[in-house]
Amino acid sequence: MKLKNYSEKIINVFKKNGFLLSEPDVLLDSEYIIQRSGENFRKLMLTFEDDTGKSMCLRPDLTVASCIKYLKENSKATSKIFYSGQAYRRSSNPKEKIINDQLGVEIIGSKKKVADDEKVLKTILKSIDKTKIGNITIKVGDVSLFEKLIESLKIPERWKMRLKRHFWRPQYFEDLLNRFETNSDVDPMAIDLDKKKFSEMKNLDQNKEIANRRVSEILSRFDRKIKDPRSFSENKKVVKIIREFLKINCSIDKIERILKDFIKKYKLSKNVLSDLTAIKNLSKISYKTIFSPNFGRDIEYYTGMVFEIYNSSKKEIARGGRYDGLLKSLGSKKNISAVGAAINLNNLKK
């Protein structure tokens, strides 16, 4: 089947399921994207300067472009949209394509989270059904479960934040675990040296700013830092719990029992991983579905349920998830819930 035919069939499914066409901008302000994603994202973007010297980029991602459009339109209502277009992103892997044809759906601003998660996944599955690809596998996970697990562990606050922040960078995350396990982050000398300066600074105007940070902010972080335990005896045990959790890989209908056993084995608080509504709801789907908390860890903006769909040759043909924090990081004053998914048309070819 030709790509165009796939595309028509998929769009029909999107429309039948109540999604309306949206056409996000192709050109975006690079600085705006860098503000959200950080400087390192720049090397993935295709950028150029316009004739006024402003840096522009081709949209690296249709989800981000759709959210920018939603914010521009200043809509308060729930937006249920689909898009069909190209995303442009460089990769360090020369085999990967720069231009990807994507078809996707997004539900932005709705409060019915569990139902929306299911709606997005089901719509994507129905669309793939129409392409008659068959023999697909689905992997699901839930980022919020990892965050709940970390919160429940008895480790210094600083480390909790660090582990949560770097979940998205598996290699660096592994470095962090190793450092944590060996307690190699301790530097009591550095703290003693500055206690004198601390007393001096207490006498300054607390609202005075030093390179964009108030004196009070600097002192309160210093204070927190010296009170946070610097050494910790149970590091090895904690790291083992995290590693074992990330190793879980089971059929979705077994997840409840497996998590229960996990909690029992490591004597964790019973209600840590008890809210499985979002995941259990997805087990109604009549496809082979695997639950793994350790996948899709390359997109920073997911906050809840995540999924990926593979064809028989293990190529990823669709992915999506919940991203409740993205719109705020793009400039919205409050959190706006959102969930979406995209089909990678180029990988649909048999």
Partner 1 sequence: MKDLITIGLPSKGRLKEGSINFFEKNNFKLTSNGGERNYFAQIEKLPNIKVIYLHAKEIIQRIGDGTLDMGISGLDLLRESAINLQKKIEVKKKLDFGTASVVVAIPNDWIDVQTVADLEEVSFDFRDKKNIRLRVATKYPNLTNNFLVSKGVTQYKLVPSLGATETYPFVGSSEIITDITSTGKTLKDNNLRVLKDGLILKSLACVLISKKKTKILQPFLNSLI
Residues between 204 and 223 that touch partner 1 (CB under 8 A): 210-213, 215, 217-219, 221-222
Query: Smallest distance from the beta carbon of 34 to partner 1, in angstroms?
Result: 6
Applying CB under 8 A, the span of 80-88, 129-137, 157-165, 262-270 interacting with partner 1 comes to: 157-165
Is residue 227 close enough to count as binding partner 1 by CB under 8 A?
A: no
Minimum distance from residue 43 beta carbon to partner 1 (Å): 8
The tokens of 307 are what?
Answer: 């999924």
Instruction: In whole angstroms, give the CA distance from residue 292 to residue 310.
Output: 14
Number of helices (H), then strands (E), belonging to the chain: the values are: 14, 14
CB of 228 to partner 1, least distance (A): 11
Among 105, 85, 89, smallest CA distance to 97 is for: 89
Under a CB-based contact definition with an 8 Å cutoff, are residues 303 and 146 in contact?
Answer: no
Helix axes 3-16, 113-130, angle to 10 degrees: 140
Site string for partner 1, 16-45 (x = CB under 8 A): ------------------xx--xxx--x--
Among 194, 230, 258, 299, binds partner 1 (CB under 8 A): 194
The answer to whether residues 14 and 105 touch, using CB atoms and an 8 Å cutoff, is: yes
297 near partner 1, rule: CB under 8 A: no
| By the rule CB under 8 A, 158 interacts with partner 1 | yes
Residue the block writes with tokens 């860890």: 297
- C-alpha closest to that of 146 among 293, 9, 287: 293
Nearer to partner 1, 172 or 287 (CB): 172
197 interacts with partner 1 by CB under 8 A: yes
**Those residues with Cβ within 8 angstroms of residue 37's Cβ, 6 or more apart along the chain or in another chain:** 300
Please report, in angstroms and rounded to a whole number, the separation of the first and last CA atoms in the chain.
Answer: 8
Backbone angles phi, psi at 243, to 5 degrees: -65, -45
Quick check: 201 binds partner 1 (CB under 8 A)? yes
How far is 292 from 245, CA to CA, in rounded Å?
9
User: How far apart are alpha carbons 286 and 184 in whole angstroms?
Assistant: 47
Which of 91, 172, 253, 257 is in the footprint of partner 1 by CB under 8 A?
172
Which listed residue (9, 148, 162, 240) binds partner 1 by CB under 8 A?
Answer: 162
- Residue 67 sits in the site that holds partner 1 (CB under 8 A): no
Nearer to partner 1, 15 or 43 (CB): 43
Q: Could you say which of 20, 21, 115, 161 contacts partner 1 (CB under 8 A)?
A: 161
**188 lies in the binding site for partner 1 (CB under 8 A):** no
Q: Please give the Cα distance from 349 to 1 (Å, whole number).
A: 8
Contact residues for partner 1 (CB under 8 A)? 34-35, 38-40, 43, 158, 161-162, 165-166, 169, 172, 175-176, 185, 187, 190-191, 194, 197-198, 201, 210-213, 215, 217-219, 221-222, 225, 329
